[in-house]
A and B are shown apart, each in its own frame.
Chain A
Amino acid sequence: MSVLQEISPNVRNMIQLESTVLAIRARQIKEELRQKVRKPYKEVIDVSWGDPHRAGVKPLSFVRQVLSACLYPQLLNSDTLPVDVRQRAQTLLAGCDAGSVGSYTAAAGISEIVCRVSEFITRRDGGVPSYPEHIFISPGSQWALTSILNVLVNSEASPRTGVLTPVPCYSTATLSIMGLGADIVPYYLSEEQGWELQVEELHRALDSAKGACNPVALYVINPGNPTGHVQSRKSMQEVIRLVAEKRLFLLADEVYQDCVYGENSEFVSYKRVLAEMGPPLSDTVELASFHSASKGIMGECGLRGGYVELVNLDPAVMKYIYKLFSTYSCAPVLGQIALDLMMNPPQPGDPSYPLYSEETQHIRSTLAHNVKRVFEVVNSLPCFCCQPVEGGAFAFPRLHLPHKAIEKAKEMGMQPDMFYCVRLLEDAGVLVSPGQDLGQKEDTYHIRFCIMTSEDTMEEALRRLSSFQTQFMKVFS
């Protein structure tokens, strides 16, 4: 018997994801395809993660050129790379100890980069000041989120610490919260209203938590994952008033701020809305805002570059946060550089600008096109409907599964949307995530798939999805 037979209940209680099961099966199918086993498709289309490069979106040339020069500074001595790439690499290397991306950096990140992140935030927010001392660069936004949650959550507390979390919500966030020994206090987003956050629902959720746990924070994702909803200013103001009134810490996950497609949608940061509401709210509401180089047009998920900006925090607490970050040394340097390049892209007049502009325009129009196609196609299929995807990386359409399908799923010991995903993978070679992993209202079923893909990948995925859906409904109605 293992010494480790007994493990932390916080770890044990983290839910096992169905997506993991699907991913394992997908790997097997890929192997079977390699062994030339006959299937109705030649390859598996994986749209289960918010991973643009995996789904066919190309990295930006400027970004990769700068990274290559930082990695191998010999490239600075030749004309292989454009002059502005070389200049940028030189500036970045000057911020690294002894000019190497292999050196550790300051715990919160390379100070010149942190300053530029701060300047970016100020520009983005129409001049609202941002302070480098309140910014921590981390290996991806998830790391920063877990760290801030770690400071908020007292796993020994009784009653337990609670975190208000949206339903649906991407699974990594909910697992982090559970893993730290906090309770999830779910608040349901309104599917019929395009997945809007309604403040009355927040009140209801808080009431439901009375006596059960002690809510300390409200976690919002804007633009939403998986919903793609972009919050209105009015809604954000209501949230801010609520957290002030109910004394909650506001965690704003804003990693998709650069992915907005809806014609009537506009991203505005929680920080900006807070600042515009003026004192006393603007001086008192405690806010953590998260961003990342993984999403947006760059899609550099694998480089692990993200940051958190902390607003209105107690300076004594900030000291501990700094210490916490320092035990992990620092974020990967290439991730820090990716973040910097995201915030300071080539400008008109720079040699790299034309290509940069072309590539980013192409990606943006592809995404806008994908979003439109998804809406059209999914809403034209039987028993399938999708709210407009205003932003973010995913579509989260609803399946109105026929009774027979639900029964069959029960027979097989699966949730109905998992059953659907399994069949979709086996029969059509498309890997998506089942709604049960993300949370949904009881007796509703959804799937989530990435829309940050190449145009070809999206068309093929939709084609397969359409014929599968049609066939599936025939079989089970």
Chain B
Amino acid sequence: MNHGTALLWKRRALSSLSATRRGLPKEKMSENGVSSRAKVLTIDTMNPTVKKVEYAVRGPIVQRALELERELSQGMKKPFVEVIKANIGDAHAMGQQPITFFRQVLALCSYPELLNDTTFPEDAKSRARRILQSCGGYSMGSYSASQGIESVRQDVARYIERRDDGVPCDPDDIYLTTGASDGIVTVLKLLVCGEGAARTGVMISIPQYPLYSAALAELSAVQINYYLNEETCWSMDISELQRALDEARRHCNPRALCIINPGNPTGQVQSRQCIEDVIRFAAKERLFLMADEVYQDNVYADSCKFHSFKKVLFDMGPEYSNTVELVSFHSTSKCYMGECGFRGGYMEIINMDDEVKAQLTKLVSVRLCPPVPGQALMDLVVNPPQTGEPSYDKFIKERTATLSALAEKATLTEQVLNTVQGISCNPVQGAMYSFPRITIPEKAIKEATDNGQQPDMFYCMKLLEETGICLVPGSGFGQKDGTYHFRMTILPPKDKLTILLNKVKEFHQKFTQQYS
């Protein structure tokens, strides 16, 4: 039994003793209502907006999965030998290997004595030296400037220029962040204001990555849902954007439009035409564009290509490129790096008013600085080994292997799920997830609703209890009324993924049978 459990047991034992025992948590007393003194911070006095925060990716189904894991480790018998957490976009947790070069440089930065170690390649050493030069006291342990290490921002700007065929990028427009989530929430904090009917509204795709809904709830912003079109591979429809916007204008002040491309949870890669149409729409309706592009390297379908919002914007000429306000988010957590635990990211701010930028700079200063190892990692991501350098071949090999494995798994997932009667899966064009639609029998829907549960949560919970597979119900992401989905990552190694998919297939057939 692990130490945490031991402590939990000790606490439970103690709580059966006198409740006035020193230092004891008050849980037992409150449950019995014998509390002699009301707390200062209760669910009635706390910030009401925090109560609205839900984050399905780490929500109740994950809590249950962790419980099952604990029970398994305690020797309890289950219909499965392990819990597979296919709920979260965590590549390393599912066995993806880190890029050797990145880890070598970071180890060198961490403990510079290793610069004398002959087992590290020269190019890794020169990168480490360069990064350390830009750190205070030659140490990753120093705070950096709040906006991020200047030389890293310069490298990010150059990467963006290369990516976008030379479209200029000013390093001062780059803000390094603690994962992309930090950047997203910071920008939302900046733009949410107003009272009543003038309250800021933010357009977000349905389905969406629930960080957006959580942040909007916490900030008391109005969430304006626009539906992606499942029938056409989750494409965006300008008419749908218009509908959502016109409706929203009646009760709030829409100011921003969020897009996730490649999509999470849907995996669609928007066409260039679509991106142009969105930009035109934002320009016409005077909306601030928030482009979440963290999966920009995760594109698998041959017919698809990642088009950055910035590149498309600039290709549309000065009428748009000088006026449309845009922020683009990127991260070290996804793509081929999968370094979630580093909390590295950046945002590029385009065409933002100087005064507003000054406010943004003030806002980021409050959290001091993003983790320096994450900044260093971002530097390597935007500045990887070049042809001719000692680490180049290995780097390319590793990156290609990771991305092609993901592409294979994307296809496999779509194929297997589409063989199941009652499951329909759009092609996983990019990102790391499949978001198939599932048909849930009426009887099951009724049982779920009677229990106060969303039908797809009911389905996913049953799947978890019977197979140990943890997925996230579509209700956590948003979906058209009367439709049900789940989100499953494509990250487990191919053989495990195959088993997983077949188990889901079996379960679905059984479930459908059981509730027919």
Contact = CB atoms under 8 A, between A and B. Distances in A.
B398 to A, nearest CB: 13
Contacts of A304: 178, 343, 368-372
Contacts of A278: 22
Interface in B92-137: 92-95, 98, 103-104, 106-108, 110-111, 113-114, 117, 119, 135-137
B104 A72 contact: yes
A302 B139 contact: yes
Contacts of B107: 67-69, 71-72, 75
Nearest to A173: B366
B379 interface: no
A103 B341 contact: yes
A8 B341 contact: no
B88 interface: yes
B358 to A, nearest CB: 8
B299 interface: no
A78 interface: yes
A102 B93 CA distance: 8
Contact of B190 (A4, A80, A302, A328): A4
Given A53-B137, A282-B22, A302 B369 contact: yes
A314 B39 contact: yes
B30 interface: yes
A301 interface: yes
A450 to B, nearest CB: 11
A98 B141 contact: no
A412 interface: no
Given A54-B142, A303-B372, A332 B43 contact: no
Interface string A162-176: 000000000010011
A3 B288 contact: yes
B365 A17 contact: yes
Nearest to B341: A333
Interface string B182-224: 1000000111111000000000000000010011001010000
Interface string A323-339: 11011111111110000
A176 B366 contact: yes
A250 B160 CA distance: 46
Contacts of A249: 40-41
Contacts of A6: 193-194
Contacts, number: 332
A97 B90 contact: yes
B141 A53 contact: yes
Contact of B37 (A96, A119, A280): A280
A280 B18 CA distance: 13
Interface string A55-82: 1111101001101110110110010100
B367 interface: yes
B110 A64 contact: yes
Contact of A11 (B2, B7, B91, B190): B190
B190 A317 contact: no
A128 interface: yes
B110 A300 contact: no
A150 interface: yes
Contacts of A340: none
Interface stretch (B44-52, B228-236, B447-455, B477-485): B44-52
Contact of A8 (B98, B142, B191): B191
A436 B414 CA distance: 61
Interface in B16-54: 19-27, 30, 36-37, 39-43, 45-51, 53-54
Nearest to A125: B23
B55 interface: yes
Given A97-B90, A301-B143, A283 B26 contact: yes
B181 A7 contact: no
A275 B24 CA distance: 9
A101 interface: yes
A302 B341 contact: no
A405 interface: no
Interface in B311-353: 325, 337-343, 352-353
Contact of B7 (A72, A118, A302): A118
Interface in A290-314: 298-304, 312-314
B43 A316 contact: yes
Given A9-B193, A150-B47, A3 B30 contact: no
A154 B98 contact: no
Given A275-B22, A328-B181, A3 B47 contact: no
Contacts of B220: 155-156
A332 B343 contact: yes
A68 B111 contact: yes
B47 to A, nearest CB: 5
Contact of B25 (A7, A97, A103, A312): A312
Nearest to B342: A332
Given A98-B93, A115-B7, A332-B371, A179 B178 contact: no
B365 A111 contact: no
A151 B191 CA distance: 21
Interface stretch (A129-137, A186-194, A256-264, A467-475): A129-137
Given A5-B356, A151-B41, A314-B39, A327 B7 contact: no
A104 B85 CA distance: 12
A137 B416 CA distance: 40
Contacts of A301: 141-143, 368
A96 B191 CA distance: 37
B341 A332 contact: yes
B341 A105 contact: yes
A333 B90 contact: no
Query: Which of the listed residues A23, A105, A152, A326 has the most CB atoms from chain B within 10 Å of its own CB?
Result: A326
A56 B137 contact: yes
Given A100-B341, A249-B41, A328-B181, A323 B55 contact: yes
Given A12-B359, A103-B93, A179-B189, 17 more contacts: A2-B325, A11-B190, A49-B143, A65-B111, A98-B94, A103-B340, A103-B341, A111-B4, A114-B4, A115-B3, A139-B343, A280-B36, A299-B141, A302-B142, A312-B39, A328-B181, A333-B341
12 contacts: A3-B288, A58-B139, A72-B107, A75-B107, A100-B98, A111-B4, A131-B11, A151-B41, A151-B50, A280-B20, A314-B26, A317-B41
Interface of A: 1-9, 11-12, 14, 16-17, 20, 23, 46, 49, 51-59, 61, 64-65, 67-69, 71-72, 74-75, 78, 80, 96-98, 100-107, 111-112, 114-115, 118-119, 128-129, 131-134, 139-140, 142-143, 146, 150-156, 172, 175-176, 179, 216, 247-249, 275, 278-280, 282-284, 286, 298-304, 312-317, 320, 323-324, 326-335
Interface of B: 2-4, 7-8, 11, 14, 19-27, 30, 36-37, 39-43, 45-51, 53-55, 58-59, 66, 88, 90-95, 98, 103-104, 106-108, 110-111, 113-114, 117, 119, 135-137, 139-145, 178-179, 181-182, 189-194, 211, 214-215, 218, 220, 255-256, 286-288, 325, 337-343, 352-353, 355-356, 359, 362-363, 365-374
